[in-house]
């Protein structure tokens, strides 16, 4: 400790929102270099290397081979697949001195595809799995919580190459098993959930989420075992209804009813129903968004959904594309569309049409998508496109025809699981890994073909698999730390044991050094606190730093004992000095 490059801090860093961020900075594991960009100090780097080691071992175990690509990449392959544009503002684009376009790799599908195309040409070369552990760059809109969402971060990304779908399924399953081993070894409590594939394209995909209250992802699970990221929940459409008996739509006065709550109250007062009171779910709410796509297109979108539900912006982003900028209609947008009366918008003025880059949408040409609950024959109370007026008995399929369906309503606890496996429960998690069956999208775009057994050229099918390596450091810290500091599981700890010498006596210092030396020759990683600091300072630091086992050499020596503390449980035990090395070896499996 007297030589280690570390300074523990007594104060929380001002920008730290989460415990993991706070403790990793305070314990001297990382330092911020710029927003979302961090420097690894010796202790942090040791943890990072431990995560990498676990990931490497499990990748090698399924036969994946390590390569290392540059992070600075040429534009062309990303142009070919469309991602140069599609990635939007999240892509770090750079120019060289000749004006050539480059990017800092956010993920490397293109490069891996081209590399394999470069060198391989036959079905005999497949299957193949390649991986790298490397810095990735994404100009995240909201860098957050230190390592959890960085703009430079470490990812393990791997890619599988197969001749057919059965091969891809096998490669995917092998990765899935490897991920189960990785996240189990990292000591994370995790769930595997169905996912959407985002900017990556492709079909089958699952995420590994660390269960954590502070996680940014919301997932659902049912008693029958359905699990999915809320972004990926697909609600089945409601059943179509006969509507022969429904009276014609009629417009009614509902003064001051621009919100669903006031509308329901007005409807019950002025247009009471015979069978039961009106409720929010009888109303059709039409929500307007302005969407700016990464290629410059702007598009107005109206979403119709039952009035008791909100649009979940993350679910909407997942549907529209994460790089699109989606904002609710502004007052200016409303002003530009005089037919749309804020608070009283009805489907009659909505429907069809996209826009050019600079045009604002012409009234009546707004794309109108509805919730899966809004099907033919369902009848609604909704805006009449006049202030203070609503229309009743407006029937979908009779009085209005949406342009399509969009499933972006918030998912609520108790909603039925789409597969019929019971009511959903909601919880939060952090995305630690993501596995995709990419299929032929990239191979097609970049021309990766091989000769099959019959000498025919076939397009290779691919999988892509990511682990957030630096995020894992933070996620483990987040889920294990306590109010005194970090608490590392053994496999990740920078050192297995911290030996703390307390008091000023030469004898204590010598004994502590001797124990540290004896432990270290057995192969254990040992950190010796040999500083001339008070016992209080040393204990506090040992708690902040979070090594799993702490050996206190001090007063007890007079009675021939040292104290062994378990950082996680706080348990303390006096052990005879003569036994301490053997005891720790048994304890730590050395
Ligand atoms: P997120 O939804 O959290 O933005 P993503 O779906 O964009 O992540 P992928 O492209 O699937 O991420 O990347 C693979 C893995 O890399 C993720 O599962 C996550 O663990 C990690 N990762 C992604 N973005 C970041 C980031 N900004 N900082 C740290 N780790 C990240
Ligand atoms: Mg992902």
250-274 residue pLDDT tens: 999 999 988 999 999 999 999 999 9
Could you read off the pLDDT of 285-303 as tens digits, one per residue? 999 999 999 888 888 999 9
Could you read off the pLDDT of 208-255 as tens digits, one per residue? 999 999 899 999 999 999 999 999 999 999 999 999 999 999 999 999
Residue 336, SS3 per DSSP: helix
Q: What is the pLDDT of residue 201?
A: 47
- Check if 432 has its Cβ closer than 6 Å to any atom of ligand 1: yes
| Contact indicator for 287, 303 with CB cutoff of 8 Å | yes
Separation in Å, CA 576 to CA 74, 459, 526: 63, 68, 19
Which residue, among 347, 349, 330, 329, has the nearest Cα to 339 in the 3D structure?
Answer: 349
586 vs 482: CA distance, rounded Å: 26
576 Cα: distance to centroid of ligand 2 (angstroms): 51
Give me the residues paired with residue 103 across strands.
Answer: 73, 93
The ligand 1 atom nearest the CA atom of 433 = 18
| Contact indicator for 493, 486 with CB cutoff of 8 Å | no
Q: What is the pLDDT of residue 323?
A: 84
Q: State the ligand closest to the CA atom of 323.
A: 1
507 vs 582: CA distance, rounded Å: 21
391 Cα: distance to centroid of ligand 2 (angstroms): 43
Residue 82, SS3 per DSSP: coil
190 Cα: distance to centroid of ligand 2 (angstroms): 15
- Check if 198 has its Cβ closer than 6 Å to any atom of ligand 1: yes
329 vs 335: CA distance, rounded Å: 10
Confidence of residue 363 (pLDDT cuts 50, 70, 90): very low
Read off the pLDDT of each residue in 79-88 and give the average, rounded to a whole number: 94
What residue owns the CA closest to ligand 1's atom 2?
A: 431
pTM of the full predicted structure?
0.92
Could you read off the pLDDT of 563-574 as tens digits, one per residue? 999 999 999 999
In a mutational test of the pocket of ligand 1, which residue from 468, 470, 474 has the highest number of ligand atoms less than 8 Å from its CB? 468
- The label of the residue with tokens 């050229």 reads 457
Host H or E run for residue 270: helix 260-270
Host H or E run for residue 192: strand 190-194
Could you read off the pLDDT of 429-477 as tens digits, one per residue? 999 999 999 999 999 999 999 999 999 999 999 999 999 999 999 999 9
* pLDDT over 80 at 144, yes or no: yes
What single DSSP character describes residue 222?
-
User: Average pLDDT, whole number, for the chain?
Assistant: 93
Which residue, among 65, 55, 24, 279, has the nearest Cα to 184 in the 3D structure?
Answer: 55
């Amino acid at each position: 400790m007297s030589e280690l490059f570390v300074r523990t801090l007594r104060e929380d860093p001002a920008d730290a929102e989460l415990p993991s961020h706070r403790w990793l900075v305070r314990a001297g594991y990382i330092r911020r270099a710029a927003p979302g960009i961090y420097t690894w100090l010796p202790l942090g780097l040791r943890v990072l290397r431990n995560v990498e080691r676990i990931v490497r071992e499990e990748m090698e175990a399924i036969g994946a081979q390590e390569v290392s690509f540059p992070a600075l990449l040429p534009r062309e392959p990303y142009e070919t697949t469309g991602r140069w544009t599609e990635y939007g503002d999240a892509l770090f684009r750079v120019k060289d001195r000749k004006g050539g376009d480059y990017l800092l790799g956010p993920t490397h599908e293109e490069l891996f595809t081209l590399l394999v195309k470069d060198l391989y040409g036959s079905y005999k070369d497949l299957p193949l799995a390649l991986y790298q552990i490397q810095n990735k760059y994404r100009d995240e809109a909201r860098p957050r919580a230190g390592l959890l969402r960085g703009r430079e971060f470490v990812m393990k990304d791997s890619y599988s190459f197969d001749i057919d779908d059965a091969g891809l399924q096998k490669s995917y399953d092998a990765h899935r098993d490897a991920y189960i081993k990785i996240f189990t070894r990292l000591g994370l409590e995790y769930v595997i959930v169905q996912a959407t594939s985002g900017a990556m394209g492709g079909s089958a995909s699952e995420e590994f989420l660390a269960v954590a209250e502070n996680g940014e992802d919301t997932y659902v699970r049912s008693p029958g075992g359905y699990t999915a990221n809320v972004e990926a929940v697909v609600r089945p459409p409601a059943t179509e209804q006969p509507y022969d008996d429904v009276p014609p739509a009629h417009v009614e006065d509902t003064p001051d009813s621009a919100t669903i709550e006031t509308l329901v109250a007005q409807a019950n007062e002025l247009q009471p129903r015979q069978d039961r009171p009106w409720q929010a779910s009888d109303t059709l709410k039409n929500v307007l968004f302005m969407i700016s796509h990464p290629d410059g297109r702007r598009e107005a979108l109206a979403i119709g959904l039952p009035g008791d539900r909100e649009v979940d912006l993350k679910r909407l982003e997942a549907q529209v594309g994460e790089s699109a900028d989606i904002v609710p209609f502004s007052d200016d947008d409303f002003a530009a569309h005089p037919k749309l009366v804020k608070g009283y918008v009805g489907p009659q003025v909505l429907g069809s049409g996209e826009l050019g880059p600079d045009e604002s949408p012409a009234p009546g040409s707004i794309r109108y998508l509805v919730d899966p609950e809004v099907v033919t024959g369902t009848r609604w109370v909704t805006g009449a496109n006049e202030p203070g007026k609503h229309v009743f008995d407006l029937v979908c399929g009779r009085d209005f025809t949406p342009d399509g369906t969009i499933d972006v309503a918030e998912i609520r606890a108790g909603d039925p699981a789409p597969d019929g496996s019971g009511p959903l429960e909601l919880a939060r998690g952090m995305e630690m890994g993501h596995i995709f069956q990419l299929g032929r999208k990239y191979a097609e775009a970049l021309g990766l073909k091989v000769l099959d057994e019959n000498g025919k050229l076939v397009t290779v099918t691919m999988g892509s698999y990511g682990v957030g390596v630096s995020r894992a450091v933070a996620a483990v810290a987040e889920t294990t730390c306590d109010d005194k500091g970090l608490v590392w599981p053994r496999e990740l700890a920078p050192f297995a044991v911290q030996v703390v010498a307390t008091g000023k006596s030469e004898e204590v210092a010598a004994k502590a050094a001797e124990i540290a030396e004896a432990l270290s020759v057995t192969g254990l990683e040992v950190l010796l606190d040999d500083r001339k600091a008070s016992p209080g300072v040393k204990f506090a630091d040992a708690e902040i730093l979070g090594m799993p086992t702490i050996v206190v050499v001090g007063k007890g020596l007079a009675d021939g004992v040292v104290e062994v503390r378990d950082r996680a449980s706080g348990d303390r035990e006096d052990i005879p000095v003569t036994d301490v090395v053997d005891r720790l070896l048994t304890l730590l499996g050395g």
